[in-house]
Structure 1
Amino acid sequence: MKYDYSDIKYYNDLDFRRFLPELVQEPLMYRIVKYYHPAYDDNQAREFLQQFTSVDDFQKGFIIHLMEKIIHDSVTDLTYDGVENIDPSKKYLFITNHRNIVMDVSTLNYVLYKEQKEKFQSTAIAIGNNLLKIPWVMHLARMNKSFLVERDLIPQQLLLSSKRLSQYIRDIITSKSDSIWLANREGRTKDGNDFSQAGLIKMLNMSGESTFADNFSELHIIPVAISYEKDPCDLMKINELAAIENGIKYVKSPMEDFNSMIAGLTGSKGRMHYQFGKELSRDVLLKINEHSPVNQKVRNLCNYLDKFIFANYRLYESNYIAADILNNESCFSHLYKKEQYVEFIIDMEEKLKSTEGDDAQNRIIYLKMMANPVKNYYSVVDSDYKFNF
C-alpha cells in the first residue's frame, strides 16, 4: 500500500526554505541563537537564521554547535563506546532507552558528528506529536529531521497510523535515505526501569513482508544504552509517579512537555555515557526468535534489547547509594565514598522540598528511580543477587 506521509514526514530542503520565515519571526528562537551567540542582538539573531538554505546546512552550521555548548554547560563528562560498530556508509535504526525528550537523540547525533566529521549525516527522529503542539516548535523539530508519531488515537485510527509509521520507517532505512533514532518505549522512563515495549516491535513488524528475522534484519537495528548521572526532570517525574501511585489521574499542565524539553536540555546531568551495540544480524535474530510464535518472537526481541540496555547502562555512585539505602545495607559501599553518600542525602532532601505530597512516599520514589538501574543490571549479570525493592 502506498501511503501519504506529508503530515508526519520530516522536512526536506524545500520544506525547510518554506517554513524558515515562520521560525525567523519567533522571538524565542532569537533567545536560542543568543544562547550560542551571547553578543548578538535580535536583528543579528534574525540574520543568522536567515543565512541557512538547507536542513544539512542548518544542522551543521547551528544545531550541532548549539548542542556542543549545551553539553559543555550541562554535562560534567560525556563518554561513549562502541562507535566502531557503526559504518558511516550504512543506515541504521538506533533503538535506545529513553530518559530525556530531546537530549537522548541530540547527544547521539553529536557523538556521531564528533566521530564521523565530514561523513556525518544526522539521524531522523521519531517524536510524539503531543510534544509539538506549539507551531514554531513543530517546525523546528521537523527542520531537524523529526517525524511525527501520532498519539491519543482511537483503536481503529491507531492501527492505520501504526501501519503507516511502520512503512515510513522501513522506507527510510531500506532506501538508504537516513538512519533513524527510536526510543524503546512510548514516553520517557520515569522510574528508572528501561523496559522495551512490545507495541514498538509489533509496529515495526507491520510493514515487513517476509519472515520475522528478515523483517528486522533489513532495519539494521543497533541497540544503544544511554546513562545519566543526574536527571534534570526528576522532580516532575516524582510528582507524576506519586499521583499514579495514589490512584490520581495525572493531568499535565499546558506547557509541561515544553518545559520538560527545556529543563532536559539545560539542566545539570552530571556524567553521561552512550554504549553502542552491534547491529542485530539475521543470524542473531534467528537465534533469539527461532521456533517461537509471533508474540513470543516480539517478547524475545524486547528481552534482547532490555538485556543489552541493562547490562550496558553505566552505573554511577548515586545509583549504588540509592540501592544500599533501599536495601538497608552497605554491600555497594566499596563503590562510593562516605562524602558522596552524605552529599547524595543532602541533595535528595533538598530536592524533596520542592515536591508535592508526602515526603516519605516521594523519597522512596526518588530512591527507586536511582536504584532500579542497579537492580536491572544485576538481573542480567548476576541473577542470584537479591534486592528488597
Structure 2
Amino acid sequence: MDQFHDIRPYNDSEVAEVLINLVNTPDFINTIIGFRFAKWPTFLRAPLAFCVKQALKRQISNISNVHEFQTRVAGYMERMIKTTTTNVEYRGIDKLDKKIGYLFLSNHRDIAMDPAFVNYGLYSAGLNTVRIAIGDNLLRRPFVSDLMRLNKSFIVKRSANGIREMMAAFGQLSAYISDSLMKEQSNIWIAQKEGRAKDGLDQTDPAIIKMFFMSQKKLKTPFSEAMANLKIVPVSISYEYDPCAFDKAQELHQKSTTGSYEKAEFEDIDSIKNGIVGQKGKVVVTFGDVIKDGFETPEEFVAEVDRQIITNYAIQPTNEAAFALQQGLPSTDSAFSSYLERCPEELQETVLSMYANPLIQQQKYLNK
C-alpha cells in the first residue's frame, strides 16, 4: 500500500492521464484564457477555449513522464527569466553532490518563484530537481493541485483539524521527507516557516524542525544524528524587487491598523500569477553549507539555520536605498525612489521596512 498516495507528487505512470484530465478541465482552460487573453472581448471566449485546448493537446502529446514535463516547464522558466529579471545568480551550488539527496530549507518571499528558482539552478547544473512542499491552502482548485503534483510538489496538510489529525498529518509528512532523502536520495525544498516573510525578516519556525525529527524519533535516533541524516542546506533567496511588495504592505498595514486581514478566496493564486509575471530585477540564490551534527535541540538547530540564511542573504541596491531613506538620508538608488513613488503614500513606510529589514537583520548578525 502507498502510504503517501494522498500527498506525494505524481509518478511517471500517472502523468499522461493527469495531463489529459487537465486539458479537459474547463476551469483550467478558462484560467489560461484569463491569464493570457484578459483584454480580449468576452464573446471570443468560446473560440479561444477551443484553440487553447487544441494547442495544449499538441503540447502534451510528447510528454509521458515527470522529466519531460519539467523540461517543458524549464522552457517557460527561461522565458520568464528573460522578461522579468535583469540577472539570476547562483552561489554555492558547486558545493552540492549529485549523488546526495539534500533538504533545502529556504527563506520564503514568493509562493511559486522561490522553489522555481532553486529548481532551475539545480536543473541547469545537472542536479536532481526538488520535491516541493506546498500547503493545501493553495490547492482549493483541483487543477492547481494536479499542476503542482506534476511538477514534483507534495502536499502539507495545513487544514488538518484537531490535535490528533494534525499530528497524524505531521507524522506522514515527516516520514515522506525522511524516505525521500534517506532511501531515494531525492532533493526536497521546504520553506523555513509557514507563509511568506512579508516584513522581510527571515526566521525559522522551530515546529518545522520538530516535524523533521518525528519519523526518526520513533526509531530512537538522537536529535543531532537525525538532523545530520537529512543533509539540511539553508538557502537564501534575494529579489531586487518583490512583485508582490505593495500587496504584502497592504496586508501588513491593514493588520496594524485594524487588527485583522481577511484574504480573498483566490488571493494566493493571484499572488502566484503576480510573482511570475512581475519585474524582479536581479535575483540571487545562495546555497549554504550542509548542517552536520552537534546541535542537540530544535532551538540550537534553528539558530544555525537562521544564521546561514541571514548572513548569506545577498544585499541588493534596493535594500541599501530603503535603509538610507529610513535614516533620513538621500536614496542611494534613483530607480528605487521612482518605484517607491508608485506606492500608495500610506504604505510607503511599510514598504521601506520590508526592503530595509534584510540589511538590518544581517548587520545585527555580523556585528555580534
Given that 1:20 and 1:50 are in contact with CA atoms closer than 8 Å, whether structure 2 keeps it comes out as no
Match of 2:240 in 1: 229
Q: How many pairs were matched up? A: 348
Within the candidate set 140, 148, 153, 2:147 is matched to: 140
SS in 2 for 1:351: coil
- How far did residue 202 of structure 1 move? 0.9
- How far did residue 3 of structure 1 move? 7.8
Within the candidate set 347, 350, 353, 2:342 is matched to: 350
1:239 aligns with 2:247: no
How far apart in 1 are the matches of 2:355 and 2:51?
42
How far apart in 1 are the matches of 2:194 and 2:168?
17
How far apart in 2 are the matches of 1:4 and 1:175?
15
Match of 1:364 in 2: 349
CA gap of 1:162–1:189, structure 2 versus 1, over 3 A, is same
Question: What pairs with 1:221-300 in structure 2 (closer than 5 Å)?
Answer: 221-281=232-292, 285-286=293-294, 289-290=295-296, 297-300=297-300
1:27 aligns with 2:29: yes
Match of 1:152 in 2: 159
Given that 2:243 and 2:279 are in contact with CA atoms closer than 8 Å, whether structure 1 keeps it comes out as yes
How far apart in 2 are the matches of 1:277 and 1:346?
34
Q: 1:184 is aligned with what amino acid?
A: Q
Given that 1:185 and 1:197 are in contact with CA atoms closer than 8 Å, whether structure 2 keeps it comes out as yes
SS in 1 for 2:343: helix
| Aligned CA-pair RMSD | 2.2
Match of 2:8 in 1: 9
How far apart in 1 are the matches of 2:167 and 2:186?
25
- How far did residue 33 of structure 1 move? 11
- How far did residue 18 of structure 1 move? 2.6
Question: What pairs with 1:190-229 in structure 2 (closer than 5 Å)?
Answer: 190-208=198-216, 209=219, 210-229=221-240
How far apart in 2 are the matches of 1:109 and 1:32?
27
CA gap of 1:366–1:34, structure 2 versus 1, over 3 A, is closer
- How far did residue 177 of structure 1 move? 4.6
Q: 1:121 is aligned with what amino acid?
A: N
Q: TM-score, normalised by structure 2?
A: 0.89
1:176 aligns with 2:184: yes
- How far did residue 69 of structure 1 move? 0.8
Within the candidate set 85, 89, 110, 1:79 is matched to: 89
SS in 1 for 2:282: strand
Once the two structures are superposed, what CA deviation does each residue of 1:225-247 show, in whole Å capped at 9, x if it has no partner? 11000000112101111122124
- How far did residue 31 of structure 1 move? 5.7
Given that 1:125 and 1:147 are in contact with CA atoms closer than 8 Å, whether structure 2 keeps it comes out as yes
How far apart in 2 are the matches of 1:375 and 1:319?
9
Given that 1:196 and 1:305 are in contact with CA atoms closer than 8 Å, whether structure 2 keeps it comes out as yes
Given that 2:100 and 2:185 are in contact with CA atoms closer than 8 Å, whether structure 1 keeps it comes out as no
How far apart in 2 are the matches of 1:41 and 1:217?
52
Given that 2:132 and 2:154 are in contact with CA atoms closer than 8 Å, whether structure 1 keeps it comes out as yes
1:50 aligns with 2:57: no
Once the two structures are superposed, what CA deviation does each residue of 1:18-39 show, in whole Å capped at 9, x if it has no partner? 311111223257669989xxxx
- How far did residue 328 of structure 1 move? 2.8
How far apart in 2 are the matches of 1:148 and 1:32?
26
CA gap of 1:310–1:279, structure 2 versus 1, over 3 A, is same
Match of 2:195 in 1: 187
SS in 1 for 2:342: helix
Mind listing any 5+ residue stretches in structure 2 that lack a counterpart? 38-49
Once the two structures are superposed, what CA deviation does each residue of 1:182-201 show, in whole Å capped at 9, x if it has no partner? 11110111000011111111
Q: TM-score, normalised by structure 1?
A: 0.85
Q: Percent identity?
A: 31
Q: 2:20 is aligned with what amino acid?
A: P
Q: 1:320 is aligned with what amino acid?
A: E
How far apart in 2 are the matches of 1:29 and 1:237?
23
